[in-house]
């Protein structure tokens, strides 16, 4: 499993390094994650059909964008409380964390360039397409289409990232035929359900789903 999360805000290389992945440079975060995945696969440490991406919160946006940009690298993605509809949220200053988050992502209300840039990577705005290839006779031949399986995990009481973002994203994916589901935690917040047993249950569910996706369920 290739993981991403919101651990250290500055990252291990310092604030200057962190700034290189902010605002109008945000796509570099997704590209670095994809490059890291491909490096592991090229080095023989992993195979695409056995690679699952995991990300929490802003890390959920990262992995959701990464699998949209490079779907052939992943068998599945677990997006935990993911920030997958950033454009809608960042356009709403009444949302609890929007104004403070403009420092990280930019303010699409005041800057058209920022608006277009966020829209260029937002998972809800950049759905995968069921591509077609031209046949040798000039006609269209339908290409076999595959998108990584998606498990979104959300909590109804999450005050940081609304569960509605994941419901919207998964609904859009299902409409185009992707294997996408949502696990809704009724009594929990941004970190999931409270208590160690709830966390163990969540981890067990994630692990079982992951093993099934990579073909190790038997």
Is residue 158 part of the annotated active site? The answer reads: yes
φ and ψ at residue 154, rounded to 5 degrees = -135, 160
Query: Catalytic pick from 29, 57, 68, 166?
Result: 57
Is residue 190 part of the annotated active site? The answer reads: yes
Residues 83 and 58: their CA atoms lie apart, in Å, by: 6
Query: Cα dist. 73→19, 52, 70, 123, 197 in Å?
Result: 27, 9, 6, 17, 33
DSSP element (H, E) containing 171:
helix 163-175
**Hunting for tokens 């303010």 — which residue is that?**
107
Residue 90 burial (10 A CB sphere; 0-12, 13-18, 19+): buried
Query: Catalytic pick from 65, 158, 162, 166?
Result: 158
CA quadruple 167, 170, 175, 176: dihedral, nearest 10 = 160
**CB contact at 8 A, 132 and 100:** no
Encode 144-177: b = buried (16+ Cβ within 10 Å), e = exposed: eeebbbbbbbbbeebebbbbebbbbbbebbeeee
Task: Enumerate the β-bridge partners of residue 193.
Answer: 188
Catalytic positions are 57, 158, 190
């Amino acid at each position: 499993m290739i993981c991403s999360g919101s651990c250290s805000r500055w990252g291990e290389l310092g604030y200057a390094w962190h700034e290189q992945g902010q605002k109008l440079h945000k796509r570099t975060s997704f590209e670095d994650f994809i490059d890291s995945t491909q490096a592991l696969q090229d080095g023989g440490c992993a195979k695409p059909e056995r690679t699952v991406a995991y990300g929490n919160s802003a890390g959920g946006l990262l992995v959701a964008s990464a699998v949209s940009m490079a779907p052939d690298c992943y068998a599945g993605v677990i997006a935990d409380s993911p920030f997958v509809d950033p454009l809608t949220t960042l356009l709403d200053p009444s949302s609890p964390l929007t104004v403070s988050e403009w420092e990280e992502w930019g303010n699409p209300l005041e800057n058209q360039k920022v608006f277009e840039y966020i829209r260029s990577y937002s998972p809800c705005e950049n759905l995968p397409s069921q591509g077609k290839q031209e046949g040798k006779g000039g006609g269209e031949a339908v290409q076999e289409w595959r998108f990584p399986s998606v498990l979104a995990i959300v909590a109804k009481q999450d005050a940081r990232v609304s569960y509605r973002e994941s419901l919207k994203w998964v609904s859009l994916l299902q409409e185009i035929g992707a294997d996408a589901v949502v696990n809704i935690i009724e009594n929990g917040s941004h970190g999931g359900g409270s208590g160690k047993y709830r966390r163990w249950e969540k981890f067990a569910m994630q692990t079982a789903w992951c093993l099934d996706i990579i073909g190790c369920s038997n």
